[in-house]
A and B are shown apart, each in its own frame.
Chain A
Amino acid sequence: MLKLEGINKIFNEGTPDEKVALNNINLHLKPGDFVTVIGSNGAGKSTMMNMISGVLKPDVGKVWIDGKDVTHLPEYKRSHYIGRVFQDPMAGTAPSMTIEENLAIAYARNANRSLRLGVNRQRRDFFRTSLEKLHLNLENRLNAKVGLLSGGERQALSLLMATFTQPAILLLDEHTAALDPSRAELITNLTKQLVEENHLTTLMVTHNMQQAIDLGNRLIMMDKGQIILEVDEVQKPNLTIPDLMAEFERIRGEKMNSDRALLG
């Protein structure tokens, strides 16, 4: 479904600030795979996400989605296939527009936008039933401006908007990191529910090891621009945090340096 082939990316090449962000990344997601990505700050997780979504272009390497080479497709064209939720709850929605208008924008993702009304009765019904799944009572606030919602509500809405058109790939970039623990748990559960319902092929970056272990059928660990560990669907169910830390020490010969990477 998603294939990264020998991706390399260097920032500020040829200057004293040169940084190898991604070093020969190879990754293959089968349809329905849910891969969690962990790693400390600067490991290249977000850069990898930006490669897939088209925000950044690789120096070397290819990106395939659904059997198509999309390496040179601009971001807005790739978004036909990719649903995204960002870390910042403000980033995934338009604050001065209403809930139903935001949903209408997301709904129009797959087709070319036309001069049809964005919200009609049929779509409004669909939006309402979709919102009911969130159990946040948003279905009764279709005409509320999104800027008035709390961070958790906005993130739940972003998640729904990213998934309900069933994109080929779902990218979650630390989408619970900016929320308080109870809201984060709510969003984590929603993620699980929505991914399962829509059978989405998902890549989720997280700082939280427990979350990385609880969610998904595969796990990868990144460090210094490389994928240093891949846990497949057979090993993943038995994985624990001490396992992961021991594995990191064995591979890198040093202790994990960031507490944030451990407990998030």
Chain B
Amino acid sequence: MSAVVEFERVVSIAGSFPVLTGLDLRVEQGEILLVRGENGAGKTSLLRACAGLISVNSGNASVLGFDMRADRRAPRRYIGLLGHENNLYRDLRVSEHVEFRAASVGAKASDTAAALEQVGFPQQLWTVPIISLSAGQRRKVAIASLLVGRPQLWLLDEPHAALDTESRKNLDAILKDASASGATIIFVSHENPTTKDIASRVVTMDGGRIMEDSGAG
């Protein structure tokens, strides 16, 4: 097994605020890592640093074997990132949106149907504008938009938010499935103790660093 994420003493500064303050983290391929912590602990920043969306100001960082200080754009197309927002073009119809996301990561438009079915999105709503969907349904479309790209690394910020119990179980199944076929998953959650079930490891963040690690030592 090789390390998918390898962070050593990573400091990351957003504006003039240090969001990561010397963070150490090593995540192996196939792990499902749950990141917990209070609001403002740096969980979201960790995900964005893994995605290469914020720069690493000091320390060593590599993701999927790419040195993030040399070129943080390099690993992006192998990564699926879902933040607080759903990244949806609200004016588009569901299938149009997922097709665009599929095409933009080089996947086939025909994978769209499979992805929407996998997240349990009802077929009669595929031609509905996203703007008329409920929050939970939008979240599903967002997850399907990631799924079509078959990412090697999933970075999910509160992925269970807005989903009902049935859909949560379904999402957990999808994540386990992806992990079993070699993908690595890092997800953030601060509210729900039941999300712990699928995690193979839990870390707790505070003040921009990892403070507790269930898998350490």
Tell me if chain B binds chain A: no
Residues of B within 8 A of A (CB): none
Chain A residues packing against B (C-beta within 8 Å): none
